[in-house]
Amino acid sequence: MTENSSKGRVSIAAVLGLLLILVLAAVNVRLAVTPAKDFLAGRAGFSQMTEDITAAYVSDSFKPKDTCLTLNGLFGRLAGRRVYNDVTLMNNGMLTHGSASRRDMTETAGKIISLASFARDRGTPFLLVIPPYKVPLEGDLLPAGRKNYRNANYDEILQRLADAGYATLDLRPSLSATQALVEKYMFRTDHHWNNDAAFLGFGAVMDTLEGLLGTELDKAYTNPDLWERHEEKDFWLGSHGKRVGPLFAGTDSVLWYTPKFETGMSYAYNRKEKQFGFLKGDYTSIYVFRDKFNKGDWYNDNCNQIYMDKLFPLVIHRNLNAPNKQKIMMIGDSYCRGMQTFLATEFAEVHMIDTRYVSGFTVAQYVEWTRPDALIILTSNFHDEFIIDFGAETETAWLDAHPGRTALIREEELTLASGGGKKNSLELPVALQPGQTYHLSFTRAETAGEPADCVTAVLWEKTKKKTVWTAMFDIEYCNETGGYACAFDVPQDNPEGEYAILLCPGVWKKTPDTSVVFSGVTLEQEV
C-alpha cells in the first residue's frame, strides 16, 4: 500500500486519533507509576517492572475498560459473531457457554456414588439434583456446526446413579426441555437458572424428599401464593454477558422472592480465617441483598448473588419455626443460593457445603459428624473442581481404625465472665494433637449482659494466633432443640503448633460484653 498523500493537509481523523491516544495515555499513565517506582527503588528488577506494567494495562484498572468491552461487544454483534470471547449466542438471542465437550463421566459418577454409599450406610438417603441448562433438550439453538454436550454428560451421570440404585431428580424436562422453557426459566446473559426456576425446583425437591424420607412433609411454603415475587427489568449482566457487554445480547432482570409469612431464622457461615459470621432475623433481612446492587452496573454487579451475597465453604441455616424438623445437608454451588434459603423455611436445619472452598475436613467427615436426615447434591458443574474426592474411603478407614471416643472433658458447667474485650473467650483445658479429630458438645448456653444471638466454638492455634475454624450456634435454636455439637479436625501440617478450643459469646473477635454459662460440656477425641 502506498502512503496517503494528503497534499499538505492534516486529516481530521489523524487529529482525533492522536487526541484519543493522548487522552487514554494521560488517564492510564498512573498504572505505570508504582512498577516504575519499585524498579527505581530497587524493589523490583527490570523484567518485573515490564511484566507489572503490561499486566496493569490489561487489568480491571485500565480506563475505560467497561466502555471498551461494551463497544467491542457491539462490534462483535455487528460483525455477525455468534461465538465471541468464549460465549455463544444462541438462535433465541440468549447466551451460553462457548463450548462443552463430551466427557467420560465414569470417574465423576464414581465419586458421587462413593459418597452416596457412605451416606446410605449411615441411614442418610441421597439425592442428586440436575438443574436446568441453557441448551434445551429439544431443538437446536446453537450456531450451525457447534455442539454442546453438557446435556449428554448430565444424562450419563443420571444413568450411572440410577443404575447404582440412587435417587435422582432431573429438573431439565420441566424447566429447560424446550426453547420456551429456557427463555422463561434461565437468565438471558447468565448461566444460572432464575429464581422462578429455583422456586419451582424447591417444590420438586420437597416432593422428592418426601418420598426419600418416607414421611409426610409439610410443604406449605412451596406454594407461590405465600411468597411475593419481585422483578426489576434490564438490571444486570450475567456471567456470559460480562464477557461481551450489554449490546451483544441484551441484559437481564433481577428477580427474587420474599415470604409473606412470618419468619425467624439464622445462618452461620465460614469463609476464610477472618471471614465468618452469623446473621439472625427474618428471611428478607438476612437473606436478600437487594441494596447491594445498582441497576446498570453491568460489569461489577452479579445479581445472582441477591440471595446470600457470597458463596461459602459451609453455611448452617437454623429455623426454630420450620414445619419440618429434619436436618438436610446439601452440597452445591451458586445454583443453590436461592434454593438453600427456600429449604431453610421448611426444615429445621440446612447445612450447605460448597466443595470448591471447603478445607479442614472432607464431605464424608461432615456427613459422619452431622448425620443429616438427607443428603442432596445440586450442581451444574461436574468438573473436577467441584466433584472432588469426597473422602468416603478415607473416612471409613479412619473410623475403622478409630472406632471409639475417649472423653477428655466432662463438665457440668463452665463459666466465662464478661469484660474480656473483643476476644473474650474460655479456653478448654486440653492441648489438642495435630491430626486428631475432636467432638465438642454442650447442652445449653445462658448469657447475661449485652445481647448475643450466638455462641462460637473456635479452633485456635496459639503460637501463630490463628483462627483455624469456627462453629457458630444459634443460642435460641440450640437451647430449644437440646444441644450444641460440632467436630474439629486439628491440622497436621503444623506439628509444632499448639491448638486449643475456645468458647465465646457472639461472633469470634467481635464478642459482646456478655458472660456465658455453658452446661454439660463434653470434649471427646476419636480413638
Partner 1 sequence: MVFSSLVFLLLFLPGTLIVNFLLPRKLRNYWLLLASLFFYAWGEPSFVLIMIASVCFNWLLALAIDRSARQRARRLLLILDIALNLGILLVFKYLNFLTATLHDLFPGTASLFPATSIALPIGISFFTFQALSYVVDVYRRSAKAERNIGFVGLYISLFPQLIAGPIVRYTTIMDQIRDRKVTLSSFSDGFLRFMTGFNKKVLLANVLAEVADAAFKANGGSVCMAWLGALCYSLQIYFDFGGYSDMAIGLGRMLGFRFLENFDHPYISRTVTEFWRRWHISLGTWFRDYVYFPLGGSRVSSSLKLVRNLLVVWLLTGIWHGANWTFILWGLLYGVVIIIEKLTGIPKKLPSWPAVCRVLYRVLTLLVVLLGWVLFRADNLAKAGTYLRTMFGLGGVPLSSDSFIFNVREYAAFWIAGILCSVPLLQRLRDRLRKAGGRKERILTEAAWLLQLALFVISITMLVMNAHNPFIYFNF
List residues binding partner 1 (CB under 8 A). Answer: 1-18, 20-22, 24-25, 28-29, 32, 46-47, 50, 53-54, 57-58, 62, 65, 68-69, 71-72, 75, 79-83, 85, 143-147
Q: What would the grid cell of residue 153 be?
A: 454428560
Minimum distance from residue 189 beta carbon to partner 1 (Å)? 17
Q: 79 or 401, CB closer to partner 1?
A: 79
Q: What would the grid cell of residue 99 be?
A: 463450548
Q: 102 or 122, CB closer to partner 1?
A: 102
Minimum distance from residue 19 beta carbon to partner 1 (Å)? 10
- For the chain, the C-alpha Rg in angstroms (whole number) is 27
CA torsion through residues 502, 506, 511, 515, sign:
negative
Minimum distance from residue 30 beta carbon to partner 1 (Å)? 11
Q: 62 or 386, CB closer to partner 1?
A: 62
- Residue from 128, 104, 43, 80 nearest 375 by CA: 128
Minimum distance from residue 78 beta carbon to partner 1 (Å)? 9
Q: 89 or 339, CB closer to partner 1?
A: 89
Q: 57 or 261, CB closer to partner 1?
A: 57
Minimum distance from residue 103 beta carbon to partner 1 (Å)? 18
Q: 14 or 397, CB closer to partner 1?
A: 14
Q: 20 or 388, CB closer to partner 1?
A: 20
Helix or strand (DSSP H, E) at 14: helix 12-28
Q: 5 or 406, CB closer to partner 1?
A: 5
Residue 6: DSSP 8-state? -
Minimum distance from residue 40 beta carbon to partner 1 (Å)? 14
Report helix angle 195-213 to 337-346, nearest 10.
Answer: 50
465: left (phi over 0), alpha (psi -120 to 50) or beta: left
On whether the CB atoms of residues 278 and 454 are closer than 8 A, the answer is: yes
| Residues in contact with 373: Cβ distance below 8 Å, sequence separation at least 6, in sequence order | 124, 213, 326, 327, 328
Minimum distance from residue 104 beta carbon to partner 1 (Å)? 20
CA 32 – CA 54 distance, rounded (Å) = 9
Minimum distance from residue 39 beta carbon to partner 1 (Å)? 11
391: left (phi over 0), alpha (psi -120 to 50) or beta: left
- In terms of C-beta density within 10 A (0-12 exposed, 13-18 middle, 19 or more buried), how is residue 275 classed? exposed
